Amino acid sequence: MNVPRSEAGMTRRRFLTGLGVAGTAAVAAGYGLSVWRDGSSTTTPATSTAALRLAGRDDRTLVVVELAGGNDGLNTVVPIADPAYRSLRPTLSVTDALALDDTIGLHPELAKLAERYRAGHVAIVEGVGYPDPDLSHFASLAYWWSGAPGVSGTRGWLGRYLDATVGFDDPLAAIGIGPVPSPALLGSRSFATTIADATGLQPDLPAWVDRPDDLIAAWSRYAPADVDPTTVLGGIQRAIAETARARRDLAVRLDEQADSAESVDGYGQEQGAHAALTLAAQLVLGDHPPRVVYVNGLGDYDTHQGEADRHPSLMRDLDAGIDAFFTAVEAGGAADRVLVMTVSEFGRRPAENGSGTDHGSGGGAFILGDAVKGGLYAEYPSIAPGDWLNGEDMRHTFDFRGVYGTLLEQWLGLDPTEIVGGTYEQLKPFKTAVGA
């Protein structure tokens, strides 16, 4: 559902003013940059000691790409051999999917992704979700951000990872790219840095926002990084230097350096995945790559209406962004130390509603990188009506906390139990053993 224009025209500055916050900011190499921490925490950098932290791996980067609004998993990874698919979607079914085997194919606008899958560098995790799914955008996103279904307004799953491994020592350990800081990065003993556009403003709320009050509530715990000014300024100076250095490095290493530079100079929410993931690649190729990059605000995946036109465009942009990212990091010699994961708060229902699809469960995720052992993981959700949840929706087959746990333990080198709130079945999507 789109926001009425009178509500959608909220500037980023007005939004932040409404929260009573104003982050320490600088314009770094053409981007608005802000450093944040959890404003409700009583913990200060002075209490951040080595005893509070674990090591984890500092030689790898996890890039999370958020497809907010609820990506249509059935039209992304298409069940080409299931006759129920076409009967449930007489006008919206994908008829020219790129076959990966006899049972599934990728949307035709994901051609580059299909090539990477066939080369063995893409894991497709099917049926990702959680029990008793909440199909509200903000409730579900809050659960994915926190890593705890039924719990919102708490530290993010990546914020807890940063608390355990980095603390306040490095404001550039986690960098968000998008219109607002992601609550997934919110920690109580760590910073997160966000990059917006050159002015630090975004003209509109994300297109999938139903109620502006929900958005304000989601970020209400963020506050300025109110630490010693010299420490903050030092972090900002390093951010400026590293961003500029990353741009220079990328210009040297990419064949199409002029086109790459032009695509990110105008970075903003409307630019989509290509610009955002090109910028992410620049950060990875810097002298001190972050441990986490979180990309959000890539477009409206809430395809209730007009899906036949809108979803292919979203897939095309995502494909271009992922390809630009890996082209850059491969040229820069960093492909073996970076991993990309896509997330979306839910999928869509199997039956079309006329011109689109409604909120559903049993979505999916991609895990991409040179370290990945490509293939299909978990079980594709049944789209047979007799198997549906509540008579209208697919059932999830793999808990998203198991996906988080897989990446935390096997990629980032940290026991995930406390971060995801328990022990969940993990995948085995990597070519080498755990911790190698």
pLDDT per residue as tens digits for the range 13-41: 443 333 333 333 333 334 455 566 665 55
Give the CA count within 13 Å in the CB-facing half-sphere of 169.
14
Residue 331 lies in a domain: yes
Q: What is the pLDDT of residue 232?
A: 54
The whole-number average pLDDT for the span 130-156 is 88
Give the CA count within 13 Å in the CB-facing half-sphere of 361.
24
The whole-number average pLDDT for the span 127-151 is 91
**Exposed / middle / buried, residue 201 (Cβ in 10 Å: 0-12, 13-18, 19+):** middle
d(CA 100, CA 16): 45
Question: 90-104, 132-146, 209-223: which range is least confident on average?
Answer: 209-223
Question: Residue 364 belongs to what H/E stretch?
Answer: strand 363-368
- Rounded to 10°, the helix 229-253/307-331 angle is 90
Give the other-Cβ count within 10 Å of 70's Cβ: 27
Q: What is the pLDDT of residue 259?
A: 44
Residue 340 lies in a domain: yes
CA 236 to chain centre: 24
Tokens (6 digits) for 220: 């209400």
Residue 432 lies in a domain: no
Yes or no: say if 146 and 155 are a contact pair by the CB < 8 Å rule: yes
Looking at per-residue confidence, does 160 or 7 come out higher?
A: 160
Q: What is the pLDDT of residue 344?
A: 97
Looking at per-residue confidence, does 206 or 285 come out higher?
A: 285
Residue 261 lies in a domain: yes
Question: 119-128, 199-208, 328-337: which range is least confident on average?
Answer: 199-208
Instruction: Provide the mean pLDDT of the chain.
Output: 79
Q: Is the pLDDT of residue 245 over 90?
A: no
Residue 427 lies in a domain: no
Residue 63 lies in a domain: yes
The whole-number average pLDDT for the span 270-281 is 82
| Backbone phi, psi, residue 253, to 5° | -90, -20
Tokens (6 digits) for 98: 């790129």
Looking at per-residue confidence, does 419 or 193 come out higher?
A: 419
Yes or no: say if 207 and 9 are a contact pair by the CB < 8 Å rule: no
Which residues, other chains included, contact 16 with Cβ-Cβ below 8 Å and sequence gap of 6+?
22, 23
* 253 strand-pairing partners: none
- In b/e form, how buried is each residue of 278-289, taking b as 16+ CB within 10 angstroms? bbbbbbbbbeeb
Residue 433 lies in a domain: no
Q: What is the pLDDT of residue 36?
A: 61
The pTM of the full predicted model, rounded to 2 decimals, is 0.80
Tokens (6 digits) for 354: 């006329």
**Exposed / middle / buried, residue 306 (Cβ in 10 Å: 0-12, 13-18, 19+):** exposed
Give the other-Cβ count within 10 Å of 126's Cβ: 21
The whole-number average pLDDT for the span 251-265 is 41
Taking Cα atoms as reference points, which of 162, 170, 164 lies closest to residue 232?
A: 170
The whole-number average pLDDT for the span 306-329 is 96
Tokens (6 digits) for 294: 């979180």
Q: What is the pLDDT of residue 153?
A: 66
Residue with tokens 């580059």, as numbered in its chain: 112
d(CA 114, CA 424): 29
Tokens (6 digits) for 209: 């926002």
User: In degrees to the nearest 10, what's the CA dihedral of 269, 275, 277, 281?
Assistant: -140
Q: Is the pLDDT of residue 364 over 90?
A: yes
Q: What is the pLDDT of residue 211?
A: 64
Q: Domain count of the chain? A: 1
Looking at per-residue confidence, does 25 or 307 come out higher?
A: 307
Highest mean pLDDT among 20-29, 33-42, 98-107, 208-217: 98-107
Looking at per-residue confidence, does 419 or 57 come out higher?
A: 419
The whole-number average pLDDT for the span 225-229 is 49
Yes or no: say if 298 and 67 are a contact pair by the CB < 8 Å rule: yes
d(CA 160, CA 177): 19
Residue with tokens 């100076």, as numbered in its chain: 237
Q: What is the pLDDT of residue 264?
A: 45
Sign of the alpha-carbon dihedral angle for 214, 193, 400, 120? positive
d(CA 432, CA 316): 31
- Domain of 337 in residue numbering reads as 5-420
The whole-number average pLDDT for the span 240-253 is 48
Looking at per-residue confidence, does 62 or 243 come out higher?
A: 62
Q: Is the pLDDT of residue 254 over 50?
A: no
Looking at per-residue confidence, does 349 or 198 come out higher?
A: 349
CA 436 to chain centre: 25
Sign of the alpha-carbon dihedral angle for 13, 17, 18, 19? positive
3-class secondary-structure state, position 127: strand
Taking Cα atoms as reference points, which of 344, 326, 286 lies closest to residue 76?
A: 344
- The confidence band for 287, taking pLDDT boundaries of 50, 70 and 90, is confident
Percent of the chain beyond pLDDT 90? 53
d(CA 327, CA 252): 13
Strands 363-368 and 359-360: unpaired
The whole-number average pLDDT for the span 92-121 is 97
Residue 431 lies in a domain: no
Give the CA count within 13 Å in the CB-facing half-sphere of 216.
16
